[in-house]
Structure 1
Amino acid sequence: MGVRKNLYWTPCAAHCIDLILKDIANDPSIKPLIQKSQELTCFIYDHGWALSLMRTETQNGELVRPAITRFATNFLALDSILTHQANLKRMTNTRGWAQNYMKLNRKDRVKANVVVGLIDSQTYWRDIAGVTVIFGPLVKVLRMVDSDDKAEMGHFMRLWTELNS
């Protein structure tokens, strides 16, 4: 930049937003919610019978599972769980759930009880709804700037110009 006076450096918007979401996910008020949601998702995907029941109740739907390197997936996973709230409640009230629960070993029964406790908890659903409402727009912006389909930065710049004129 010392040689070329008109050369500017700009950070990657997608990377910056992803790092913001990483910091948010580590906040003490959000991290336990994400961990509980991961326990719920892991239990379902670790037990074929639970996965089968979930797919039946969601008409072959899937839950988003968080990836290690993309922090937005934590928030996408919360939104996915919230979307399937009624289906997950139905799943844990089926005869198939009760029959398979009885076959679990002690360790897995404890995990199943945690899952049922989460699904039956109004506080859990309220917290997920709050997080997705607050941070959903940020995730939406991330998806827009990280898209290969079209250049969204020009769109953001036009909006910024319009707002500031």
Structure 2
Amino acid sequence: MLERIGDLPQRKNALLKARKVANYIYNHSWLLALMRKFPKREILRPAATRFATAFLTLQSMYQVRQPLEAMFTSEEWIGCAFTNKSEGKTVRKIVLKDKSIWPSVVYAIKTTKPLVEVLRLVDAKKEPAMGYL
């Protein structure tokens, strides 16, 4: 069900861009270390196997929005080699200048949060979920 929801244009766009940002940061250890200085927490890394993780990635990315913006405007970022690479420019543009990304992320979170919460309850191994549903 979440896969079909994720295929809708607005959500798909947000998911693709969030994945691009998260993967770029996680694929470069220096950037990951820099990111850890700013938000004091991490973006949940997208997983290929569980689709709900993509929406949880959106949620965690939105929670660290301001620290991400601060990271991409910091002197450390401006002075690093990633600033001049095309992928680095693209990711920075997504975080700072893409007017559609944050409203799309918020929309995707609001429309999928109830379903993701139910899936997390059902998937939990601590207690049977039927009593809560």
TM-score (norm 1): 0.75
- The partner residue of 2:132 within 155, 158, 161 is 155
2:84 is equivalent to residue 70 of structure 1? no
Q: Which amino acid in 2 is paired with 1:118?
A: I
Deviations along 1:98-140, one digit per CA (max 9) or x if unpaired, are 111xx2496xx11111111111133211110111011111101
- The partner residue of 1:111 within 62, 87, 99 is 87
Runs of 4+ in 1 over 4 A off after TM superposition: none
Moved more, 75-84 or 142-151: 142-151
Q: Which amino acid in 2 is paired with 1:115?
A: V
| Matched residue, 2:16 | 35
- The partner residue of 1:128 within 91, 100, 105 is 105
Q: What root-mean-square deviation, in Å, do the aligned CA atoms of Structure 1 and Structure 2 show?
A: 1.5
Q: How far apart are 1:52 and its partner, in Å?
A: 1.1
Q: Distance in 2 between matches of 1:35 and 1:114?
A: 13
Q: Distance in 1 between matches of 2:82 and 2:131?
A: 55
* Percent identity of equivalent pairs: 31
- The partner residue of 1:84 within 64, 82, 92 is 64
| Change in 2 beyond 3 A, CA 1:105/1:83 | closer
Q: Which has the larger radius of gyration?
A: 1
Say whether the 8 Å CA contact 2:83–2:89 is kept in structure 1. Answer: no
Give unmatched runs, 5+ long, in structure 1: 1-19, 157-165
Q: Distance in 1 between matches of 2:88 and 2:11?
A: 22
Q: How many residues align?
A: 132
Give unmatched runs, 5+ long, in structure 2: none
Q: Distance in 2 between matches of 1:31 and 1:113?
A: 21
Q: Distance in 1 between matches of 2:75 and 2:114?
A: 39
